[in-house]
Amino acid sequence: MVKVGVAGYGVIGQRLADGVALQKDMELVGVADLAPTLSVRALKERGMDYDLYLVEGADASKFNALGIPYKGSFNDLIGKVDVMLDSSPGGVGAKNKELYEKAGVKAIFQGGEKNSVADVFFHGYANYEKGLGAKYLKLTSCNTTGLIRSVDCLDRNYGVDRVAITIIRRVADPGDYHRGLTNALQMDKAPSHQAVDLMTIMPHVEATGILVHTPVTHGHIITVVAHGKDGKKITRDMALDAFKTHDRIRVVRIEDGFLGNSSFFRYARDLGNPRGDMYEIGLWEDSIVESGDNIMYAINIPQESVTIPETMDGVRAAIKMQNDSASATAETNKNLGLGRWKN
Amino acid sequence: MVKVGVAGYGVIGQRLADGVALQKDMELVGVADLAPTLSVRALKERGMDYDLYLVEGADASKFNALGIPYKGSFNDLIGKVDVMLDSSPGGVGAKNKELYEKAGVKAIFQGGEKNSVADVFFHGYANYEKGLGAKYLKLTSCNTTGLIRSVDCLDRNYGVDRVAITIIRRVADPGDYHRGLTNALQMDKAPSHQAVDLMTIMPHVEATGILVHTPVTHGHIITVVAHGKDGKKITRDMALDAFKTHDRIRVVRIEDGFLGNSSFFRYARDLGNPRGDMYEIGLWEDSIVESGDNIMYAINIPQESVTIPETMDGVRAAIKMQNDSASATAETNKNLGLGRWKN
Amino acid sequence: MVKVGVAGYGVIGQRLADGVALQKDMELVGVADLAPTLSVRALKERGMDYDLYLVEGADASKFNALGIPYKGSFNDLIGKVDVMLDSSPGGVGAKNKELYEKAGVKAIFQGGEKNSVADVFFHGYANYEKGLGAKYLKLTSCNTTGLIRSVDCLDRNYGVDRVAITIIRRVADPGDYHRGLTNALQMDKAPSHQAVDLMTIMPHVEATGILVHTPVTHGHIITVVAHGKDGKKITRDMALDAFKTHDRIRVVRIEDGFLGNSSFFRYARDLGNPRGDMYEIGLWEDSIVESGDNIMYAINIPQESVTIPETMDGVRAAIKMQNDSASATAETNKNLGLGRWKN
Amino acid sequence: MVKVGVAGYGVIGQRLADGVALQKDMELVGVADLAPTLSVRALKERGMDYDLYLVEGADASKFNALGIPYKGSFNDLIGKVDVMLDSSPGGVGAKNKELYEKAGVKAIFQGGEKNSVADVFFHGYANYEKGLGAKYLKLTSCNTTGLIRSVDCLDRNYGVDRVAITIIRRVADPGDYHRGLTNALQMDKAPSHQAVDLMTIMPHVEATGILVHTPVTHGHIITVVAHGKDGKKITRDMALDAFKTHDRIRVVRIEDGFLGNSSFFRYARDLGNPRGDMYEIGLWEDSIVESGDNIMYAINIPQESVTIPETMDGVRAAIKMQNDSASATAETNKNLGLGRWKN
């Protein structure tokens, strides 16, 4: 059993902990945080199903006053694990890394950290092998993770050498009050960092794109214009066939009720998924169209949970639990129940 | 075991089914619907944990094509239950009632139906006794249900003879596309029906109010200006003491992170509540202020799930499972885990 | 002086009337409507600067009761004009056409009507000559009008043979309550009608695209991936040069404060433009990127007013006021003050 | 002619300048700002109808590069005026005050500054006399200004001794990107500052209230529960009669098309008001209801422009242009065209 800890019990950290707890070959040792946030209070009310550790700077008296038990310090947690999943606020991960180095513990950082924090910028499907045995990995961000799933899927099956993307980004998560946008679409300077990041992970693909922020909370939508390698056309049927075989892509149709990004959220709640989360990206069958040598399609990215499977893959790579992407992602998928809906 | 069926497996119907399944003295016989909606597809993907029946007009071939099994017709379901919980779309419940009458089965309708559909307009706390043994009950709507909880709580403890309310209404549920409002606040003609409904349930209270629709999905907020009976002042401390003892009112503070309506949704997701639901209304301690003889406060209404406990109370009244509100609501609360957070 | 009437004094009709009133070689005879809407009440409060006529079915007593004077019937108006601009609600224009035919009056319909209502589907730049002397023209919709401006601009300068577009559509206008979307992005089945319409107007271009509705009111944003004719690359500088010379395209930069769609609305209000309207599409200089043989860029479409210039062009074509696009659009632009900002 | 300058040419500053320019007995000397914002660029594109001065810290080279002419420094402007209207960002006004003191120039600050910046916290109707001859006035904020108009109107006619308010606050202005809220209602700690401020201006009234932020941009809505002085009941008809006589209150009805806050914005655009602004608060006739001794009603506050009339009143008080509220507000109203719609 590989022992795993989680630093930062926020939107991502909670889901990382849940994800680890579902892996049959991993053990969640505990989670660490700084303050009795709503998420930590919920952990308490739920019955402390995960052990809590306090990071440096935490005011223990606040936890005591609320009757929230903790097992020890952040260093205590680090001392018990093989790998830390770091989902601290941006910038904090880089500081935590010093502790990981001192303890000789591997770590996987989320997309908010700078690339320089890690040895390898990682995606479970597109460059698993690069992560094998690495000390420090950084995951791609939520948009990039989902985007690469779909582009890698086409590339693996038919070859892709160029993509142009439009990201229609959700601007905040449900429950966020510290950021937001009201009745406005906001432009980012092009090219979007997601296109640039894709090229880092898949260097044989030329990518560019435009990102527009929109005032919604339930999932990004990305349109992709992908060019078949050397102009070899990918037809609508070819694309659909490939997408349907992928265990982290859920192919849906508007006519079945998947009208937009919030339909996925609604559906995941109705499925009984914890927190109403979905690990798969959605892909609309009725969005796929051909444009010359290009294939165009739209995907939905459930921003809160989409990186969890690839982070589990990251643990597998760093610890060399599996030696190739196919075996590792299959194991992650089985533990998370991914692909089950096809039966 | 009282046998219960649910008609209409939509936003409310799903939650009614979940609520019944949690009652130790009730048995969920099955749910009925018309079409393979997203909710029905989710039931299938989840593994058909509830039996499905098809209402008249359903196209069985569509269910067959999707491999969604069903147990029989709506009449089959009606024939197996003691009471039907009807959460069909507005107006359909009145038609269904003919079937219930023919079968001699009791029924409880949701707030969308006209009052005339039922013998008693019902609230588990405020007029439980009126529902005892009744054939047809109609629940108050989500806003009214939550509002009455708080007003009845003050009335029961100190006496209330007048309220003036402002309803800041969420205009759609997560996943809704058939209704919505974009960058606008919309007025309803005053007085709001919720104030009028409150007077029907609590005839000794004079109520009026104004309703404003707002473009959000995670919970209504209501401000209440309540007048102590005969001018007997209810102080801030008195109000707070009363609210804190109520098992369906969750008293929270802004400074603890409950910044608005979506904080409750976030918290319920983090608690691991199915669908991220919450049965309690929220009440902000830091919203309570005094105004002459009046006490003013703000509550949050989780519109999708708030009526579930009172509907369970309704079953208890209609079937005479308990003879008074205190025993009935205590049983419902125990089964739904309400009030547990205080420990 | 060409005499012009406007049918339907709503969002578009008001702006058509304003546009005609600004044309030195046209005379606005009057506007027609059915009911004392807010727009008609505003016309009254403003002092009846435009003459009002009542369409069939209008209840004159309602106008009388409000002291809103009218000059006569819809047929009276039709009898006085050379051309009618029909911005009636969708479907009504087709019925009005019978009146226009009887009176031998030309008409220009807006995008909401079916193409079959008109002899020519029209755009002032892209196919002006087709409209010369035509009896019935139909304008492209707001998105298509703005989109074609930019594609035609590149095509005219360098040649374009293929585009793939992503439309991030505003779902309602300011002040709309009859439609809206709340916290959701909604997909349309691909290809979007705007791409199909573009091919009708510019048959030498292959077009496809995906449309996503977003909960905002101040302008659509479209990203365009355009392929140089026969693979002849259009560079970023070439594109920018062409766009900057166009009098109906306003090239802006994020760093100058044009952060998104609502910045244009804010700017137009600050300019003192009536209703805060803008006739130009916006084009972000910092959105232009190259992708292989393609050039990619983002534009902003002010949905309420963008079709006004092309409708003025339509009058010029139908009445043969000018014989070519260059002269006609130059005249329209001069009268509307377009291009003036470059000085 | 009283000479007036404006410091800070932003959302409020632009409207103050427009307001001064409309006063027949005032002269707008110029406006001052720090950077070539969109508003300043619009001033340039409009043709520099107002003279521009640069505040300390402004980088003149930026203005030169854009060809934006300026007349001099902030001190130059101060040296030419009798009174400065300061709508600088919060906190800057207090610093500017040192310059005003040095130059012996009077100043009127907007609601964003601390009360301590001024000698008098001012409202044109409710305490005009206090401002007579004062050196430094501070206006009430937008919500408080509109709220007081309505409460003062009832108080003046019938007497009011207590109000409880619910503020449904718009969270951003059109064009704002630096603040926003997405799919959330946010609570403020009670009592709201607007209730507290009302008591400062109208010390004979006890006020409290709750404020909820909502994700919209076109106007705050406030519900008011007002108690007749000494329990003397104000009926619905009495309230309506009083409101209808007020030149800064526009009484409207839902059935006429004023469905919510954005209807006012739509109507003001259709009126041709510059920037689509409205100086009046809206008051819904169909929102007025009685509750015991209280009268309850709802008003709409056009946040960008509502304080302009009261600021003009402030100039009149500070300069002693009129000696009483009735004469001063009548003069302001005449110049701004207020009350004209009743004819």
CATH number, domain with residue A117: 3.40.50.720
Percent above pLDDT 70 for chain B: 100
The pLDDT, as a whole number, for residue A343 is 60
At residue C69, φ and ψ (nearest 5 deg) are -75, 145
The pLDDT-based confidence of B343 (bands split at 50, 70, 90) is low
Same domain, A262 and A327: no
The tally of domains found in chain A comes to: 2
Give one word for B276, left, alpha or beta, with left for phi > 0 and alpha for psi -120 to 50: left
> Per residue in D45-103, pLDDT tens?
999 999 999 999 999 999 999 999 999 999 999 999 999 999 999 889 999 999 999 99
Compare CB distances from C183 to A213, A216, A292 and report the shortest one's residue: A216
Same domain, B166 and B187: yes
Whether D135 contacts D104, CB under 8 Å: no
B153 belongs to the catalytic site: no
Contacts of A256 in chain B (CB under 8 A): 38, 41
Same domain, A154 and A279: yes
Residue of B31, B118, B142, B268 marked catalytic? B142
**Which 3 state secondary structure label does DSSP give B105?**
coil
Compare CB distances from B223 to D210, D287, D292 and report the shortest one's residue: D210
The answer to whether D215 contacts A180, with C-beta atoms less than 8 Å apart, is yes
Give me B78's structure tokens: 């009606």
Contacts of A264 in chain C (CB under 8 A): none
Strands D26-33 and D52-54, by their bridges, are parallel
The answer to whether D187 contacts B298, with C-beta atoms less than 8 Å apart, is yes
Same domain, C279 and C311: no
The C-alpha angle D69, D73, D75, rounded to 5 degrees, equals: 150
Which of A320, A308, A331, A335 lies closest to A146 in space, CA to CA?
Answer: A308
Compare CB distances from A180 to D174, D181, D217 and report the shortest one's residue: D181
Say how far residue A248 (Cα) sits from the centre of its chain.
Answer: 11
The pLDDT, as a whole number, for residue B81 is 98
Contacts of C174 in chain B (CB under 8 A): 183
Same domain, B147 and B284: yes
The pLDDT, as a whole number, for residue A56 is 95
- Structural domain harbouring D274: 142-301
Indicate whether D343 pLDDT > 70.
Answer: no
Compare CB distances from D168 to B168, B217, B254 and report the shortest one's residue: B168
The answer to whether A177 contacts D171, with C-beta atoms less than 8 Å apart, is no
Whether B110 contacts B93, CB under 8 Å: yes
Residue of C68, C137, C142, C147 marked catalytic? C142
Whether C276 contacts C192, CB under 8 Å: no
The answer to whether D260 contacts B185, with C-beta atoms less than 8 Å apart, is yes
Indicate whether B342 pLDDT > 80.
Answer: no
Contacts of C256 in chain D (CB under 8 A): 38, 41
The pLDDT, as a whole number, for residue C343 is 60
For chain D, the farthest-separated pair of C-alpha atoms sits apart, in whole angstroms, at 65
Same domain, D293 and D314: no
Indicate whether B3 pLDDT > 80.
Answer: yes
**Which 3 state secondary structure label does DSSP give C237?**
helix
How far apart CA C172 and CA C169 sit, in angstroms, is 9
DSSP state of D124: T
How far apart CA C167 and CA D310 sit, in angstroms, is 44
Q: Side chain identity at A167, as an amino acid letter?
A: I
| Sign of the torsion formed by the C-alpha atoms of C6, C7, C11 and C14 | positive
How far apart CA C273 and CA D218 sit, in angstroms, is 18
How far apart CA D297 and CA D249 sit, in angstroms, is 13
Work out the number of other CB atoms within 10 angstroms of the CB of residue D101. 12
Residue of A29, A84, A142, A251 marked catalytic? A142
Whether B219 contacts B301, CB under 8 Å: yes
The answer to whether B174 contacts A263, with C-beta atoms less than 8 Å apart, is no
Residue of D142, D221, D251, D338 marked catalytic? D142
Instruction: Pick the residue of C182, C259, C267, C269 with the most D CBs within 10 A to test the interface with D by mutation.
Output: C269
> Per residue in D136-160, pLDDT tens?
999 999 999 999 999 999 999 999 9
The structure's pTM equals 0.98
Residues B141-180 as b or e (16 or more Cβ within 10 Å = b): bbbbbbbbbbbbbbbebbebbbbbbbbbbbbbbbbbbeeb
Cα separations in angstroms, A95 against A5, A86, A100: 17, 11, 9
The answer to whether D180 contacts A177, with C-beta atoms less than 8 Å apart, is no
Taken as a whole, chain A contains a residue count of 343
Q: How far is A113 from chain B (nearest CA, A)?
A: 24
The pLDDT, as a whole number, for residue A90 is 85
Same domain, C51 and C177: no
The pLDDT-based confidence of B66 (bands split at 50, 70, 90) is very high
The pLDDT, as a whole number, for residue A206 is 98
Same domain, D286 and D314: no
Q: How far is D7 from chain B (nearest CA, A)?
A: 31
State in Å, rounded, how far the first CA of chain A is from the last one: 30
Same domain, D291 and D312: no
Same domain, B88 and B199: no
Tens place of pLDDT per residue across chain C (343 aa): 999 999 999 999 999 999 999 999 999 999 999 999 999 999 999 999 999 999 999 999 999 999 999 999 999 999 999 999 999 998 899 999 999 999 999 999 998 888 899 999 999 999 999 999 999 999 999 999 999 999 999 999 999 999 999 999 999 999 999 999 999 999 999 999 999 999 999 999 999 999 999 999 999 999 999 999 999 999 999 999 999 999 999 999 999 999 999 999 999 999 999 999 999 999 999 999 999 999 999 999 999 999 999 999 999 999 999 999 999 999 999 999 998 777 6
The answer to whether A291 contacts C210, with C-beta atoms less than 8 Å apart, is no
Compare CB distances from B42 to A41, A43, A267 and report the shortest one's residue: A267
Compare CB distances from C185 to A187, A214, A288 and report the shortest one's residue: A214
Task: Report the chain D residue with the minimal C-alpha distance to residue C44.
Answer: D271
Which chains, if any, share at least 3 CB pairs under 8 A with chain C? A, B, D
How far apart CA A41 and CA B250 sit, in angstroms, is 14
Compare CB distances from B174 to A38, A265, A341 and report the shortest one's residue: A265
> Per residue in D294-318, pLDDT tens?
999 999 999 999 999 999 999 999 9
Which of D106, D108, D57 lies closest to D78 in space, CA to CA?
Answer: D106
The pLDDT, as a whole number, for residue B120 is 95
Instruction: Pick the residue of B204, B225, B299 with the most D CBs within 10 A to test the interface with D by mutation.
Output: B225
Task: Report the chain A residue with the minimal C-alpha distance to residue D172.
Answer: A182
The answer to whether B256 contacts A38, with C-beta atoms less than 8 Å apart, is yes
Give me B228's structure tokens: 């102590």
Q: Side chain identity at C35, as an amino acid letter?
A: A
Same domain, A224 and A321: no
DSSP state of C3: E
Contacts of C181 in chain B (CB under 8 A): 177, 180, 182
Contacts of A274 in chain B (CB under 8 A): 272
The answer to whether B175 contacts A274, with C-beta atoms less than 8 Å apart, is no
pLDDT under 50: residue ranges of chain A: none
Instruction: Pick the residue of D212, D256, D266, D286 with the most B CBs within 10 A to test the interface with B by mutation.
Output: D212
The answer to whether B267 contacts A41, with C-beta atoms less than 8 Å apart, is yes
The pLDDT, as a whole number, for residue B341 is 78
Which chains, if any, share at least 3 CB pairs under 8 A with chain B? A, C, D
Please give the interface size between B and D, counted as residue pairs whose CB atoms are below 8 Å apart.
157
Contacts of A275 in chain B (CB under 8 A): 269-270, 272, 276
Strands D206-214 and D220-228, by their bridges, are unpaired
Average pLDDT score over chain D: 97
Same domain, B153 and B62: no
Supply the CATH number for residue A159's domain. Answer: 3.30.360.10
How far apart CA D322 and CA D132 sit, in angstroms, is 9
Residue range D104-126: mean pLDDT, rounded: 94
Give me C34's structure tokens: 């059915």
Q: Where are the strands (E) in B60-140, listed by range?
A: 72-73, 83-86, 106-109, 120-122, 136-139
The answer to whether A265 contacts B41, with C-beta atoms less than 8 Å apart, is no
Q: How far is B279 from chain D (nearest CA, A)?
A: 19
Task: Report the chain A residue with the minimal C-alpha distance to residue B340.
Answer: A45
The pLDDT, as a whole number, for residue D111 is 85
* A310 membership: H or E segment, kind and range: helix A307-318
